[in-house]
Structure 1
Amino acid sequence: MTTKARTYQLPPTPLIPNSPFPLLHYPGLVRDLVTRPNFKTADIFDLFAQNGWQSQWVARYGPDIQSHYHSTTHECMAVISGEGATIRFGVADAPDWKRGMLGIGERGGGEEGGVDIRAALGDVFIIPAGVSHKTFSPAPETKELAFHQPEDVEAGHAADDISPESEARHREFFGQVPVEGHFMMMGAYPYGGVWDFKIGGEHREKEETVWKVPKPQKDPVLGLSDEGLCGLWK
């Protein structure tokens, strides 16, 4: 299970800290896994877990979500269903952004720059703390976001209990989320990581507090391989 990563170095903007670490995009890295006839979300859950990453959500995407970044942890997102969607990295939305204001195919306003990547089934993204991201224009078209989280994750307590019993409950929870062909991603964080939701401007002149989030010990998919973050995040 190897692929050459596409790397993107995203400099700070007036509103987004971004990161000295590059954004990593592995096209189709887990495509063989998610296209198996008997594929279950537990397969991705187990893959992340064996590399020290905790699955915390599954999302079915609507037309648009707000651009945001996490200041406290790195993030992995894997495309587990659907034809594709566009993800914009590295810039903030316009201040007047509201959910539902954009239609399918519309990009909306916001800061100049960043990079738009068309995500496809089986793609994996590793997003450094501080790098903003925004998913829009999913295919097939979906009108609403559906966000699935275990109760302790939603309450912000995922890092408090990472016992085998707790993780078994999480695994069972995700196994009950239907994967029906809409554009869906599964998100994970290094064990102990608790994510926040920042939309831009919160860390102006304090960017180094975000840049100092520790590097994970393993890549969520490629483990200790130099083809993953262990070799690419220096």
Structure 2
Amino acid sequence: MVEVKTYTIPPTRLIPNSPYKLLHYPGLLLKETESPSAITETVFDRFAQNGWQCQWIARYGPTQISHYHSGAHECMAVISGEGAAIRFGVADTSEDLEESTRGHGFEAGGVTVQAGRGDVFVVPAGVAHKTHFPKPDLPEGEGLRFFSPEKAHELSEADAKRILTDVKVEGEFMMMGAYPVGSAWDFAVGGDHEGRFGDVWNVPKPEKDPVLGLSEEGLKGLWREEEKLGVKTKANL
């Protein structure tokens, strides 16, 4: 039986979040991420067989801007590193990254989850996320490095795989990001869809979970269309 943690995150003033649950599969790909030389190819293939295409690999620095994707559901898999904190569901309210990470420069609410190697997150369109405090620490002055082919969603599976599997995995906290085939992701921040949350909520549900496929243990069983009305009612929208 697969371990899964679920979080229902209602809208905030600035973030649409989603009727669908945020899904966290602790250590689901732990075995697949044991060999640095084969990680990217193994994880890429696992997602591809379920209709999700990897479009980026990121090595994380101390923090980043809280953001969400308005037109695509996202899967993030931790492929390297000891761990990091990921804050879901709230916007930064300060442009000072230090204040929005260690201080009080973010909205109330949301949830902070500790992520480790092998973990998989299925993040519904609209759910804000901010990865910070990665382990091991990077050398002073180094931060986020993002590897993504230009117009990645338009590439063939073979071309995307060739480019991403060339990225070296060397022990820092790193994740791979995948989206349902054909989906294009954007980078939206708090307030970008104020008054238009419904546009984000209507992103179609994928046919398969990125790792569990058609299993009822994955999003097929955990994302129910009837949940949408309940979330909208609670938000008084």
Which TM-score applies when normalising by structure 2? 0.89
Contact persistence 1:90–1:114 (CA under 8 A): yes
Give the residue type in structure 1 aligned to 2:204.
P
The equivalences for 1:34-53 within 5 A come to 34-36=33-35, 38-53=37-52
- The farther-off stretch of 106-115 and 191-200 is 106-115
Secondary structure (helix, strand or coil) at the match of 1:31 reads: coil
Contact persistence 2:58–2:144 (CA under 8 A): yes
1:79: which partner in 2?
Answer: 78
2:211 to 221, 224, 230: 221
Indicate the RMSD between aligned Cα atoms, in angstroms.
1.7
2:200 to 204, 210, 218: 210
2:163: which partner in 1?
Answer: 173
Residues 108 and 216 of structure 1, relative CA distance in 2, 3 Å threshold: same
Aligned residues: 221
Contact persistence 1:64–1:102 (CA under 8 A): no
The equivalences for 1:109-124 within 5 A come to 109-124=105-120
Counterpart CA distance in 2 for 1:19 and 1:39 is 34
Contact persistence 1:90–1:133 (CA under 8 A): yes
Counterpart CA distance in 2 for 1:230 and 1:180 is 34
The Cα of 1:203 is off from its aligned counterpart by 1.4
Residues 183 and 14 of structure 1, relative CA distance in 2, 3 Å threshold: same
For residues 179-214 of structure 1, the C-alpha deviation after alignment (integer angstroms, 9 at most, x for no partner) is 000000000000111011111112122111110000
Which TM-score applies when normalising by structure 1? 0.90
Please list every run of 5 or more consecutive structure 2 residues that lacks an aligned counterpart in the other structure: 225-237
Contact persistence 1:70–1:196 (CA under 8 A): yes
The equivalences for 1:121-136 within 5 A come to 121-136=117-132
Give the residue type in structure 2 aligned to 1:192.
G
Secondary structure (helix, strand or coil) at the match of 1:210 reads: helix
The Cα of 1:95 is off from its aligned counterpart by 3.3
2:19: which partner in 1?
Answer: 20
Instruction: Please identify runs of 4+ aligned residues in structure 1 that moved more than 4 A.
Output: none
- The farther-off stretch of 5-14 and 167-176 is 167-176
Alignment identity in percent?
Answer: 57
